[in-house]
Structure 1
Amino acid sequence: MAVNELFLVRHGESVGNVAATQAELDGLDAIPLDIRDADVPLSDTGREQATALGHWLDGRRDSIDAYWVSPYLRAQETLRIALGDHPTPAPATNPSLDERLRDRELGILDLLTRRGVAARHPEEMARRLHLGKFYHRPPGGESWADVALRLRSFLRDRLDGPGETAMLVAHDAVVMLVLYVLLPMREDELLDFASTRTVLNASITHLVRRAAEWELAAFSDVTHLQREGADVTAHPGSPDVEPA
């Protein structure tokens, strides 16, 4: 049985999101965070957002056949809080972790602000401008194209089932690049789409497959957060090497 409906959820606000935003505002070169990326937990706001996501799930739990989640702590916490203690079908009690859903790796740019990248690695600023966002791979890290390749592998393995409806909880780059793979988009279409849209924390992006083609039914919807009175946050998932 093929998956024909897919809910893509970005994790709730993390302490890394908060630290990165504050470091940018303070004009720092580096983000003061002594935790490896895989172990960054949710903030208090992120936990509230995950609870609101759980209320959105009420009445939908029986219709979701599979839950897929990034192995990173912030994504696992988001799904665990959202699922809560409610009785759930078997797939929900044992969500499938897959390292191919991890966040984009930044290599030598990890924990640097935009200011820090410009000051410490100006050559990467130049490479980014030359290659473009999609193909720029920081030393030791990944380009968007690299992430898309691992997502193609994941989707090829998982979209044949089980069940018709699945929820994937991961990161903003993962959400964007699943759209790139499934809709599908060209590089220029993806970059144009991403330039005016943000995958908000704990937002829901909804894809439906009709006549073998995927359609975007909703992008970065946060109605459930607003309804529950949870803060809507739009922190960047990771500092990028954007031109000044």
Structure 2
Amino acid sequence: MAVSEFWLVRHGESIGNVAATNAEIAGLEVIPLDERDADVPLSRTGRDQAAALGEWLDARGSAIDAYWSSPYLRARETLTIALGAGGSDATFLIDERLRDRELGILDLLTRAGVAARHPEEMARRRHLGKFYHRPPGGESWADVALRLRSLLGEVLPGPAERVMVVAHDAVVMLLLYILLPLREDELLSFADDHTVLNASVTRLVRSGSGWELVEFSEVGHLQREGAAVTAHPGDPDVEPG
């Protein structure tokens, strides 16, 4: 059977999320973080959020047939904690195509840092738009969409019918772009008005020959378990303000 239902989960809050938000608030140009992006772990709040996600999963029993994860530590930790005693890398599929967007020379820079150190990239971004702007050494949203299309070509035919993906905010947005499907302008408008919260659940179901968005960035499970609801900015390649 082909996939009929997708749960898209953003990883729990990471120490990188906290460091980036604090750096933005303080007006710093560089985010003080030693770990490479792939090795950034969850914060204590993020671990609580992952545990709350686990309570949500327990309430559904065997509702999910297969789990896929980004290879980045914060995503793998989220899913391992959520799956509880039986959770380990061996219980879910890890695929590098679900990794976060790579930012190249903008990595670890705040909005102020991008404006101060790479004003030429600000100008290129204004001209090309967020969807097609590729920082040197990094990826555009279009690049991420291409690798996700490759992944979906393997996942959608089945045999799992109900699949959960744990990844990153840009990955969630771009899976919506592909599956609904959306045009570039529709995606960017949606992203302007909607935030993928940490450890949130977005659900799509197959409807006829297409897909229907049933829930977006649902965090009721966090609120029921007393876990904090957190939102942190993703890409720094936006206008400073």
TM-score, normalization: structure 1?
0.96
Matches of 1:224 and 1:159 in 2, distance apart?
Answer: 27
Structure 2 residues without counterparts, runs of 5 or longer: none
Q: Provide Cα deviations, 1:169-214, integer angstroms capped at 9, x if missing partner.
A: 0000000000000000000000000001000000000000021210
- 2:40 aligned partner: 40
Tell me the secondary structure at the aligned position of residue 216 of structure 1.
Answer: strand
Q: Structure 1 residue 100 and structure 2 residue 79: aligned?
A: no
**Aligned pair partner of 1:186 in 179, 183, 186:** 183
For 1:240 and 1:44, locate their aligned partners in 2 and report how far apart those are by CA, in whole Å: 28
2:172 corresponds to which residue?
175
User: Is 1:83–1:92's contact at 8 Å kept on the other side of the alignment?
Assistant: no
In 2, the alpha carbon distance for the partners of 1:20 and 1:169 equals 21
How big is the shift at 1:92? 8.9
Q: Retained in 2: the 8 A contact 1:65–1:162?
A: no
Q: Give CA-to-partner distance per residue, 1:53-80, whole Å, 9 cap, x none.
A: 0000013241211100000000000000
* SS of aligned partner of 2:46: helix
Taking only the aligned residue pairs, the percentage that are identical comes to 74
CA distance in 2, matches of 1:98, 1:242: 32
Residue 21 (structure 2) aligns with: 21
CA gap 1:243/1:130 in 2 versus in 1, 3 angstroms: farther
What is the CA–CA distance in structure 2 between the aligned matches of 1:78 and 1:157, rounded to whole Å?
23
Determine the structure 2 residue equivalent to 1:162: 159
For residue 163 of structure 1, report the CA deviation from its aligned partner.
1.9
Measured in 2, the distance between the counterparts of 1:239 and 1:227 equals: 32
The Cα shift of 1:241 comes to 2.5
The size of the alignment, in residue pairs, is 241
User: Secondary structure at the residue paired with 1:62?
Assistant: coil
Could you say which residue in structure 2 is the equivalent of 1:49? 49
Report the Cα distance in structure 2 between the residues aligned to 1:240 and 1:169, rounded to whole angstroms.
Answer: 24
Are the aligned partners of 2:69 and 2:76 in contact in 1 as well (CA < 8 Å)?
A: yes
Gaps of 5+ in 1: none
2:77 maps to 1:80: no
Matched, 1:151 2:148: yes
Paired position in structure 2 for 1:136: 133
Residues 1:124 and 2:112 aligned together:
no
Q: CA deviation at 1:239?
A: 2.2
Give the deviation of 1:93 after TM superposition.
5.2
- How far apart, in 2, do the equivalents of 1:119 and 1:226 lie? 39
- 1:106-154 superposed Cα distances (whole Å, 9 cap, x missing partner): 0000000000000000000000000000000000000000000000000
- CA shift, 1:18, in A, is 0.1
CA contact (8 A) 2:30 2:113 kept: yes
Per the normalisation by structure 2, the TM-score is 0.97
1:15-55: CA deviations, max 9, x gaps? Answer: 00000000001110000001000000000000000000000
